[in-house]
Amino acid sequence: MLTLWLRTWQLGVKSLLLHPMRSLLTVLGIFIGVASVIWLLAVGEGISRKATEQIESLGATNIIVRTIKPAEIDLNTSQGNARGPTITPYGLTRDDFRRLKSTIPTIIDSIPVREIRRQFTRVGRKIDGRLVGCTAKYQEINRLVMERGRFLEDVDGVYRHNFCVISSEIAERLFPIEDPIGRSINIQSVNNTPDPYVVIGIVKKKDPTAGIGGSFSSQDFSNDVYIQIDTFWSRFGDKIITVSGSSMEAEQIELSQITLQVDQQKNVMKTSELIRMTLNPHHSKMRDYGVTVPLELLEQARTTRIMFMLFMGLIAGISLLVGGVGIMNIMLATVTERTREIGIRRALGAKRGDVVRQFLIETIVLSVVGGAIGILVGLTCVPATNFVWWALFRYCPHVVAALPDTVRGIQPIIVTWSIPLSFGISVVIGVVFGLYPAIRAAAMDPIEALRHE
């Protein structure tokens, strides 16, 4: 039996070599199909990976825990008594921050934030804005780009420096003709007196972030001033009292927000549950915090990836299908040409199964050879793409400069499972599209086949 199969394989290969150009063109169709599967899925993976990175940069792995004013507490006091207004503390605490940071292993970074509304002044000019007490990592997590100077550093908080970083809008309003770097602005203190802070940096204009479904609330960075959070605590404390005319508003909050960065997307939901389990025992008297999870961003990341892979896979599948049609077309023509040969073999005792096996082996050989060459060419996807980028940068720099940064940074990523998948599909297509010509050849009447000229 083994000898029979070997002889059939030898006969099939010999038959294909009798028409090298025809066989080569048939192999070309399969090779293009297999290479297309690998190339297109690699490009799709590269694009989807880039898209996922863009989505992640928007905070898809960040969980925001915010202080929420409890409905049962009235924090506004119209008139204070001799001892001052009655203030009930609420919200996130520094102990909460340390507890979350030290007990949940999937959290790789944590940023405490304290925000209050304040008035900023400079030589008769004034503007109301948001004073943000934060750490150096706040810049990275919110993708703040420096226009001039530098952002806050941890050492600024250690020494309680009166340093601040201002937005470009505040710089334009308070310093219309001066360079703000090294000069001071006054920030309304807890006693409503102006305290000077030296400007060490200016943040580029950043568009407000729109609220995304239930995941993120909108933020406007246009009138922000940033100081080190340790400096904030030492200068302002936790109890903030704001007097406006005859009314007084007071609150006692340690942290307005804690931004937690999770190690992987798949751990975001699990981490959010651990956060709630960690905080609930310490906030059982009132619901004074909320956990914000980027559900829509996570779903968008998954949908984007699946969409690209399906779309690219569909196009590649069509290429393989065209290659299969080419095999069927060539094999049908081969059956017609070899009608007399088939008649002679049948007259000498060959069974229908022998004829089917011979033609199927020829199609399988074409598919295997085309698939193997397609894999080799498909693996050149990354170096070929790098060469194209190099040529564009060298000879057409104006074209590359016109492309968005995200497009210039796209690199194809070989999808490992696409290699066996494309090869397997090429063999299956060879069998499926070669089956009909083989059956048609075996179904010929031997006498009619011998009469064929």
Joined together, the tokens standing for residue 417 give 């499972």
One domain, residues 280 and 386: no
The pLDDT assigned to 146 comes to: 94
On whether both 229 and 154 belong to a single domain, the answer is yes
The residue out of 269, 293, 317 marking a domain boundary is: 293
In a domain, 157, yes or no: yes
Q: How far is CA 293 from CA 111, 219, 288, 435, in A?
A: 16, 16, 17, 54
Instruction: Check whether residue 47 and residue 69 sit in a common domain.
Output: no
Q: Is residue 447 part of a domain?
A: yes
Q: Domain check: are 35 and 110 in the same one?
A: no
For 257-269, what is the mean pLDDT?
89
Output the pLDDT for position 213: 45
Quick check: is 277 in a domain? yes
pLDDT (0 to 100) of residue 409:
67
Rounded to whole angstroms, what are the CA distances from 426 to 46, 371, 372, 438? 24, 6, 10, 18
Tally of domains in the chain: 2
Cα 114 from Cα 67, distance rounded (Å): 10
166 and 186 housed in the same domain: yes
Residue 232 domain-assigned (yes or no): yes
What does the pLDDT average to over 221-245?
A: 86
Nearest to 180 by CA among 122, 102, 135, 231: 122
Whether 269 and 328 map to the same domain: the answer is no
Give 448: exposed, middle or buried? Use CB within 10 Å, 0-12, 13-18, 19+: exposed
Residue 32 near residue 315, CB atoms below 8 Å? no
- Lowest-confidence segment of 76-90, 226-240, 261-275, 348-362 by average pLDDT: 76-90
Using the predicted structure, report yes or no on whether residue 266 has a pLDDT greater than 60.
yes
Per the prediction, the chain carries an average pLDDT of 81
Instruction: Taking residues 124-139, report their average pLDDT.
Output: 93
* Mean pLDDT confidence for 11-36: 77
Number of H helices, E strands in the chain: 16, 13
Task: Indicate whether 258 and 121 sit together in one domain.
Answer: yes
The verdict on residue 57 lying in a domain is no
Structure tokens at 430: 């060879």
- State which amino acid sits at residue 91: G
Look at residue 150 and tell me if it is in a domain.
yes
In a domain, 30, yes or no: yes
Task: Quote the pLDDT of residue 78.
Answer: 38
Residues 13 and 126 in one domain: no
Q: Confidence band (pLDDT; 50, 70, 90) for 100?
A: very high
Domain end, chosen from 293, 309, 335, is at 293
pLDDT at position 48 is 75
Q: Are 342 and 373 within 8 A, CB to CB?
A: no
Q: Identify the three-state secondary structure at position 176.
A: coil
Indicate the residue among 275, 293, 311 that finishes a domain: 293
pLDDT of 297 strictly over 90: no
Residue 75 pLDDT class (50, 70, 90 cuts) = very low
| Overall residue count recorded for the chain in this entry | 453
Distance CA 179, CA 169 (A): 13
140-190 pLDDT tens trace = 888 889 999 999 998 998 888 899 999 999 999 999 999 999 999 999 888
Helix (H) or strand (E) holding 405: helix 405-408
> Is the pLDDT confidence value at 372 over 70?
yes
This prediction's pTM: 0.60
Please name every residue paired with 112 in a beta bridge, in sequence order, or none if there are none.
258
pLDDT at 395: 86
**Residues 225 and 116: beta-carbon distance below 8 Å:** no
Taking residues 402-410, report their average pLDDT: 69
pLDDT at 274 over 90: yes
Mean pLDDT of 24-48: 82
| Mean pLDDT confidence for 3-25 | 70
User: Which structure tokens are listed for 90?
Assistant: 């609420």
* pLDDT for residue 227: 96
Q: 315 and 253 share a domain? A: no
Q: Among 104-108, 116-120, 281-285, which stretch is predicted with the lowest mean pLDDT?
A: 281-285
Q: What CA–CA distance (Å, rounded) separates 289 from 279?
A: 9
CA 23 to chain centroid, in Å, comes to 43
Per-residue confidence (pLDDT) for residue 147, from 0 to 100: 94
Does residue 25 sit in the same domain as residue 89? no
Segments forming the whole domain that contains residue 74: 62-293
Domain match, 443 and 338 both: yes
Provide the residue type at 191 as one letter: N
Q: Which residues pair with 185 in a beta bridge?
A: 197
Residues 33, 73, single domain; the answer is: no
